[in-house]
């Protein structure tokens, strides 16, 4: 495969990703400056591109022009005003946008995005008939390249207006004319799900949900997952017994069952039963699910599991779940596990949980862990956790950890020192620039730049010379 072909392929792929992906903002500029810059581009006024980080590329001059400035000039304000729910202004921008690209796939994707956003604005403004006219060509006409958003919105509107039967008939006619009509296919599938919900066939909906999950993450499986969950939640009386039955089975879909039952306020008791009677893998599932329920009683159950369960794996997941809840009431229990649990996995995840909770009471125990635990992974988590506090009490222990035998420990200690910003670490970090691992050296460079606001790369000699001249002033400033 020749080099020119590889380069051209990369250019085309990069253009497609930019065209179809989310836009990134220049953080150094305000939203207002970016909007003003894009308005100039959209109206054909001169623009240097500096406010947006973009060059004012002519549509016809780019080999892959889907991501050019003209296209972004309309999308960025449209997204901005949509996010602000300024529907009149957003509609103006989306309607003004005329997508252009030499790539047919990118052009179709942008046309579809434009139509969806126009219809969304029209719906929010109460212009339902206009929204229907915007969407129908993508489902009933000849625009075959269509994602799920438009067909689903169209079906939801027709369902609300009690004319879903009419839409279903038109969709079937459109598919009879062309089997390649993607919008019509999605609409018909979604209408089929609605019909199952109308018949209260929760088992069939659940089976389709599990099937979607088994297929992995994709646009097709994600919309089915979202809409089936909504339909199941719309009939809790029928869904709850089925979900409880599936929750007790060791099969795919358990976490979704917990999520749905939590929204029905019915997930806790089955999880308690699993904790009492399940094997290790069942109890791991139960503690992880408890951490995501948000139920007030879940916290107390997790603390008991962390202290008393006989399985290190289950205790470790309980520590992790408590960290995700981020309640300082868990601090003492996690400190106890950090100091006394015999298994390194529990101690490591307890350290990580304490780093997320950020209770000041954990700093000294984490320092002791960093200095004394025999497992590299536990010391690594302790160093990372101490970095999240950005507390100067940890500086000396972190400096000592720069000489740790474990590369991950040295790396986390280096990053933590950079975050704390204490000048006492400078001399030791200069030494770390000679570490035999590239990642640690790079972290040391970044840490030195953060502390000193200087940039000498990974040249120890230049850093030493600068430090010799500025040590006293920086140390004095640091002590204030």
| pLDDT single digits (tens) 89-140 | 999 999 988 888 888 888 888 899 999 999 999 999 999 999 999 999 999 8
Domain with CATH 1.25.10.10 in the chain: 390-480
Q: Write the CB contacts of 159 (distance below 8 Å, at least 6 apart in sequence).
A: 194
Chain-centroid distance, C-alpha 103: 29
Mean pLDDT, range 443-451, rounded to an integer: 95
Write the CA distances from 205 to 190, 259, 375, 415, integer angstroms. 11, 16, 47, 48
The terminus-to-terminus CA distance of the chain in angstroms comes to 62
Q: Report the distance separating Cα 317 and Cα 313, nearest Å.
A: 6
Residue of 153, 154, 137 lying closest to 145 (CA atoms): 137
Give me the CATH topology for the region 390-480.
1.25.10
What is the pLDDT confidence band of residue 270, given thresholds at 50, 70 and 90? confident
Residue-wise pLDDT for 136-168, tens only, equals 999 988 776 778 999 999 999 999 999 999 999
3-state secondary structure 387-452: HHHCCHHHHHHHHHHCCCCCHHHHHHHHHHHHHHCCHHHHHHHHHHCCCCCHHHHHHHHHHHHHHH
**pLDDT score for 294:** 72
What is the pLDDT confidence band of residue 35, given thresholds at 50, 70 and 90? low
**Paired tokens of 235:** 């009939």
By the 8 A CB rule, do 174 and 139 touch?
Answer: yes
By the 8 A CB rule, do 271 and 294 touch?
Answer: no
Q: Report the distance separating Cα 301 and Cα 169, nearest Å.
A: 53
By the 8 A CB rule, do 223 and 231 touch?
Answer: no
Chain-centroid distance, C-alpha 107: 27
Q: Report the distance separating Cα 189 and Cα 198, nearest Å.
A: 14
Residue of 349, 341, 342, 343 lying closest to 320 (CA atoms): 349
**pLDDT score for 118:** 96
């Amino acid at each position: 495969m020749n080099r020119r072909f590889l380069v051209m392929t990369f250019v085309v792929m990069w253009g497609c990703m930019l065209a179809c992906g989310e836009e990134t903002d220049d953080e150094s500029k305000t939203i207002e400056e970016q909007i003003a810059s894009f308005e100039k581009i959209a109206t054909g006024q001169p623009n240097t591109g500096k406010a947006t980080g973009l060059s004012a590329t002519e549509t016809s001059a780019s080999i892959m022009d889907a991501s050019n400035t003209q296209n972004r000039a309309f999308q960025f304000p449209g997204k901005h005003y949509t996010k602000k729910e300024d529907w009149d202004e957003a509609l103006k921008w989306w309607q003004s946008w005329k997508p252009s690209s030499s790539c047919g796939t990118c052009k179709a994707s942008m046309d579809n995005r434009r139509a969806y956003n126009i219809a969304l604005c029209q719906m929010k403004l109460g212009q339902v008939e206009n929204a229907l006219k915007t969407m129908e060509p993508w489902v009933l006409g000849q625009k075959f390249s269509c994602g799920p958003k438009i067909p689903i919105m169209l079906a939801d509107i027709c369902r609300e207006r009690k004319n879903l039967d009419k839409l279903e008939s038109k969709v079937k006619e459109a598919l009879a004319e062309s089997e390649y009509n993607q919008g019509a296919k999605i609409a018909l599938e979604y209408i089929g799900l609605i019909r199952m919900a109308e018949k209260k066939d929760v088992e069939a909906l659940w089976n389709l949900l599990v099937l979607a999950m088994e297929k992995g993450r994709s646009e097709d499986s994600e919309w089915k997952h979202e809409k089936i969950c909504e339909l199941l939640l719309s009939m809790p009386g029928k869904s709850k017994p089925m979900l409880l039955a599936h929750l007790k089975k060791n099969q795919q879909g358990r976490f979704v069952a917990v999520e749905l039952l939590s929204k029905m306020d019915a997930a806790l008791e089955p999880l308690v039963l699993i904790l009492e009677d399940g094997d290790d893998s069942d109890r791991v599932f139960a503690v992880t699910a408890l951490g995501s329920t948000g139920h007030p009683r879940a916290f107390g159950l997790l603390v008991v599991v962390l202290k008393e369960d006989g399985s290190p794996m289950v205790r470790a997941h309980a520590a992790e779940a408590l960290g995700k809840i981020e309640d300082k009431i868990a601090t003492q229990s996690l400190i106890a596990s950090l100091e006394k649990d015999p298994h390194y996995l529990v101690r490591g995840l307890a350290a990580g949980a304490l780093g997320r909770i950020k209770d000041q009471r954990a700093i000294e125990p984490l320092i002791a862990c960093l200095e004394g635990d025999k497992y590299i992974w536990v010391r690594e988590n302790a160093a990372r956790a101490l970095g999240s506090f950005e507390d100067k009490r940890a500086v000396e222990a972190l400096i000592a950890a720069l000489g740790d035998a474990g590369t991950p420990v040295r790396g986390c200690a280096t990053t933590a020192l950079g975050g704390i910003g204490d000048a006492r670490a400078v001399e030791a970090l200069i030494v770390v620039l000679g570490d035999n691992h590239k990642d640690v050296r790079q972290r040391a460079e970044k840490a030195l730049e953060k502390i000193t606001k200087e940039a000498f790369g990974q040249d120890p000699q230049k850093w030493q010379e600068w430090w010799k001249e500025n040590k006293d002033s920086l140390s004095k400033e640091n002590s204030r």
